[in-house]
């Protein structure tokens, strides 16, 4: 058992005054809380300073680089990454401290996440357990350079925490729709940089395939109206993503405009 395990919680923020206080309250067990803000104007920074003096301003770099910057600014090797609309439960906090306080067999651990729309938990539709690496040793793991859909890339085996974290992502479907276009645009940009191309077949088949995957294969129908909404909006985002990718392709190869 390590005598005094040290854990840094890292958070990125911009205009998160509605969410960040409850997030910060849920991680007060950590030895250090590092917040990297990209220019909030809604009181977020003032809220952060009530809980930690480790607040930094960094111009927006994209999700992966921004989170890695927060890791680089942390003072401890064990890192726990959390978003402003998430909460660590007491059970998960104890599990994290136990892992860091022993000689763990892994340098990275995934955490399951329970997501809510308004007050309804989404248990299907591919939204649970939605495991991603949240706890990791920074000498053996780091964030990808992805501008969206970032992930932690770790050495060796990856462990799994049993306790859930809570994700209060959206108050209603209007908020999902507001984010839909942004994420479609960022995903298209990332795909274009990677050299991906969009064909007519992509536009025709990928959106309905996305709907079938969420609503039928991942049992979205068990989530009721919310499950139907998630499936429809996932299909819509998929269509927009490939439509925007096509625009990127045409900017690079305008002579292909009439090709399917």
Q: What is the DSSP string of 190-252?
A: HHHHTT----HHHHHHHHHHHHHIIIIIT-GGGGHHHHHHHHHHHHHHHHHHHHHHHHHHHHH
Residue 111 has pLDDT above 90, yes or no: yes
Q: How many helices (H) and strands (E) does the chain have?
A: 7, 13
Ramachandran bin of 88, using left for φ above 0, alpha for ψ from -120 to 50, beta for the remaining angles: beta
Do 29 and 38 touch, CB atoms closer than 8 A? no
Rounded to whole angstroms, the Cα distance separating 162 from 76 reads 23
Lowest mean pLDDT among 8-22, 207-221, 241-255: 241-255
CB-based contacts of 188, cutoff 8 Å, min separation 6: 240, 241, 242, 243, 244, 245, 247, 248
pLDDT digits (tens, 9 = 90+) for 49-100: 999 999 999 999 999 999 999 999 999 999 999 999 999 999 999 999 999 9
Rounded to whole angstroms, the Cα distance separating 189 from 241 reads 9
pLDDT digits (tens, 9 = 90+) for 207-239: 999 999 999 999 999 999 999 999 999 999 999
Percentage, residues of the chain above pLDDT 70: 96
Phi/psi of residue 18, each to 5°?
Answer: -70, -30
Phi/psi of residue 205, each to 5°?
Answer: -105, -30
Higher pLDDT: 154 or 118? It is 154
Sign of the torsion formed by the C-alpha atoms of 173, 178, 181 and 185: negative
Higher pLDDT: 105 or 65? It is 65
Return the residue matching tokens 């395990």. Answer: 5
Q: What residues does CATH 3.90.550.10 cover in the chain? A: 7-169
Give the pLDDT confidence score for residue 236 in this predicted structure: 98
Give the pLDDT confidence score for residue 1 in this predicted structure: 45
Give the pLDDT confidence score for residue 11 in this predicted structure: 99
Q: Give the pLDDT band of residue 254 (cuts 50, 70, 90).
A: confident
pTM of the model: 0.90
Give the pLDDT confidence score for residue 116 in this predicted structure: 96
**Lookup: tokens for 77:** 């090797």
DSSP 50: T
| CB neighbours of residue 181 within 10 Å | 14
Give the 3-state secondary structure of residue 67.
helix
Rounded to whole angstroms, the Cα distance separating 238 from 207 reads 5
Give the pLDDT confidence score for residue 177 in this predicted structure: 93
Give the pLDDT confidence score for residue 169 in this predicted structure: 87
Residue 42 has pLDDT above 80, yes or no: yes
Task: From the options 3.30.420.40, 3.90.1170.50, 2.30.30.20, 3.90.550.10, give the CATH code of 7-169.
Answer: 3.90.550.10
Do 60 and 66 touch, CB atoms closer than 8 A? yes
User: CA-CA-CA-CA torsion for 42, 170, 144, 123, nearest 10 degrees?
Assistant: 160
Query: What are the start-end ranges of the H helices in 59-199?
Result: 63-73, 90-100, 173-193
Axis-axis angle for helices 224-252, 200-212 (nearest 10):
160
Give the pLDDT confidence score for residue 5 in this predicted structure: 76
Higher pLDDT: 216 or 170? It is 216
């Amino acid at each position: 058992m390590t005598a005094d395990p040290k854990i840094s919680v890292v958070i990125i923020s911009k205009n998160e005054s509605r969410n960040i206080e409850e997030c910060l309250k849920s991680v007060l067990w950590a030895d250090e809380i590092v917040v990297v803000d990209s220019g909030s104007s809604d009181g977020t920074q003032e809220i952060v300073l009530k809980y930690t003096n480790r607040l930094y301003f960094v111009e927006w770099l994209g999700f992966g680089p921004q989170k890695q910057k927060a890791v680089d600014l942390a003072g401890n090797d064990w890192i726990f990454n959390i978003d402003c609309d998430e909460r660590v439960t007491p059970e998960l906090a104890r599990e994290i401290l136990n892992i860091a306080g022993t000689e763990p067999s892994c340098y990275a651990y995934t955490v399951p996440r329970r997501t809510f729309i308004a007050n309804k938990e989404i248990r299907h539709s591919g939204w649970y357990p939605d495991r991603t690496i949240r706890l990791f040793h920074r000498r053996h793991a780091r964030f990808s350079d992805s501008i969206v859909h970032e992930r932690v890339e770790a050495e060796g085996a990856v462990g799994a925490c049993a306790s859930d974290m809570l994700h209060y992502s959206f108050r209603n479907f209007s908020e999902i729709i507001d984010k839909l276009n942004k994420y479609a645009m960022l995903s298209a940009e990332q795909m274009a940089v990677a050299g991906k191309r969009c064909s007519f077949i992509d536009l025709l088949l990928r959106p309905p395939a996305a709907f079938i995957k969420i609503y039928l294969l991942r049992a979205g129908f068990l989530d009721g109206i919310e499950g139907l909404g998630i499936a429809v909006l996932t299909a819509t985002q998929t269509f927009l993503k490939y439509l925007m990718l096509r625009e990127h392709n045409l900017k690079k190869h305008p002579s292909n405009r009439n090709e399917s």
